[in-house]
Amino acid sequence: MIGLVSTAVVAFVLTVASLPAFGSAASADAGCGRDGRPACTILRPVPQGSHRSVAADAPACVVVVGGLGSPPNDDFFDPILDRLGTTSDGRPFRAFRFGWDRGDRYRYDTYGAIDRSALTLRALIRDLSDECVTTDVLAHSMGGVVADRAFSMGVSAADGVTAYVPLASPHNGSFDARAVRFGVELDDTYAALASTVAQRTGLHDPTSAAVRDLAVRRSPRPPRGVVAVRQKLVHDLMVLHGDLADRRMDVRELLPTSLDEFEAHSGIVHNARAVDVAVRTIREHAVPGDDRTDAERRAASLAARAVQRYWGGVVAAAGLAMADVAAGAVISGAVRNGDADDLGEFGERLGSHLADGADLVQAALALRTPLPFSFFEMLVPTVVDRD
């Protein structure tokens, strides 16, 4: 998700310089799959009995799922894949890059709708179930959200899946994406401007179906019969503390240990502890114990909360500023043209985003708290809470 906030800021600057006529844009539905409940309509879990017939010499397979805008032949996961070697019984590991190794049959549009990608991923995993003695899923960033949806659609241990290792994934939805969406989706013209800026600057398109889906709030339930561990670096600006917190899951926020992890979102594969946990989980089909000291865990939690407080506040303020510009342009244009329908339509759009707007206001206002009080507010839940 690198570049979403940059896209938003650039779009804001361009819009201030030249305010166009504004229309209206559609909003995403945040009603399905929330609070751990089954997803809606076609996304309800599909019961799947064991149907596997695996050859005696079948390899152990690892399906890797890249993030937003990642190339299909992404080598991002190589630091982990190169360390896998063979299984305990001498079987080789075979990696399948989702969207690449099986060609167009399992095409992966990283800017397309997440649910569509999840359906394709489910089909790939079930296709591999007769070829692989086990199948493990290794994902990064949005790839973890795609995998979450595939599990919600019925992928389970019955398909031969044994381990799931997402890295730096916004499982609960992305706060950054919600902030950007609030700023660009109030008006069609504004959204088109942001999309054009993104395409011309090489940034991620904030109006793409994938980004809109990332903005949806959801709390995916743990995959059935599959061991899993979530990991991210504490200073990841793309995936904040609240984006992956879940009491039902093994969640580990890690302190950086080298300069290679300076850019935290992609630097997760250079963190020795994260890589070791990923490799051992896949090879042993069990999540290794957390070897960090209690002080390390608490320091990491406090750092992650601080990043969420301050970076989240900045992102929220940027989203609100863009929304303010969009609202001003729509209202002034409607008044100038005497078009009450535009105002009514804008009001409906604004109403559909009120929950996001309230969260952004709250996050932005948190920046006004003096640092000592802010630190105390974060310290207390860090000491007494482990979410």
Helix axes 188-201, 175-184, angle to 10 degrees: 120
For residue 93, the Cα-to-chain-centroid distance in whole angstroms is 27
pLDDT of the residue at 26: 34
| Average pLDDT rounded to a whole number, residues 90-107 | 90
pLDDT value for 203: 87
Q: Which two tokens stand for residue 56?
A: 């005696």
Return the pLDDT at 176: 95
What are the tokens at 36? 């751990």
Q: Which of 207, 243, 213, 175 is nearest to 30 (CA)?
A: 213
Percent of the chain with pLDDT over 90: 53
Query: Predicted confidence band at 44 (pLDDT cuts at 50, 70, 90)?
Result: very low
In the chain, the DSSP E strands lie at: 60-65, 93-97, 134-140, 161-167, 227-228, 230-233, 251-254
Lowest mean pLDDT among 72-76, 209-213, 259-263: 72-76
Confidence of residue 51 (pLDDT cuts 50, 70, 90): low
Q: Which of 39-43, 103-107, 235-239 has the highest mean pLDDT?
A: 235-239
**302, 377 in Cβ contact below 8 A?**
no
List 230's β-bridge partners, or say none: 251
Segment 203-221 mean pLDDT: 92
| pLDDT reading at 124 higher than 90 | yes
**Number of Cα atoms under 13 Å in the Cβ half of residue 305:** 19
Confidence label for 214 from pLDDT (cuts 50, 70 and 90)? very high
Max alpha carbon distance in the chain (Å)?
76
pLDDT surpasses 70 at 49: no
Do 87 and 93 form a contact (C-beta atoms < 8 A)? yes
HSE-up of residue 79 (Cα within 13 Å, Cβ side):
16
Q: What is the mean pLDDT of the chain?
A: 82
DSSP codes of every residue in 322-384: HHHHHHHHHHHHHHHHT-HHHHHHHHHHHHHTHHHHHHHHHHHHGGGS-HHHHHHHHHHHHHH
The sign of the dihedral angle between the CA atoms of 254, 260, 265, 268 is negative
In this prediction, residue 386 carries a pLDDT of 52
Compute the chain's Rg from CA coordinates: 22
Band of pLDDT at residue 50, cut at 50, 70 and 90: low
Domain ranges of the chain: 1-387
Q: Residue 349 pLDDT > 70, yes or no?
A: no
306-318: per-residue pLDDT in tens?
Answer: 899 999 999 999 9
Other CB atoms within 10 Å distance of the CB of residue 72? 15
Sequence letter at residue 75: D
What pLDDT, on a 0 to 100 scale, did the predictor assign at position 5?
Answer: 47
Confidence of residue 56 (pLDDT cuts 50, 70, 90): confident
299: closest CA among 384, 231, 385, 379?
A: 379
Q: What is the pLDDT of residue 338?
A: 63
pLDDT attached to residue 32: 44
Q: How far apart are CA 138 and CA 133, in angstroms?
A: 16
What fold does the segment set 1-387 form as a domain?
Rossmann fold (3.40.50)
* Distance between first and last Cα of the chain: 23
Can you tell me the distance from the alpha carbon of 243 to that of 233, in angstroms, rounded to the nearest whole number?
Answer: 13
DSSP letters for 279-316: HHHHHHSSPPP--S-HHHHHHHHHHHHHHHHHHHHHHH
Task: Tell me the pLDDT tens digit for each residue of 221-279.
Answer: 899 999 999 999 999 999 999 999 999 999 999 999 999 999 999 999 999 999 999 99
Residue 46, pLDDT > 70, answer: no
pLDDT classification of 19: cutoffs 50, 70, 90:
very low
Residue 193: predicted pLDDT: 81
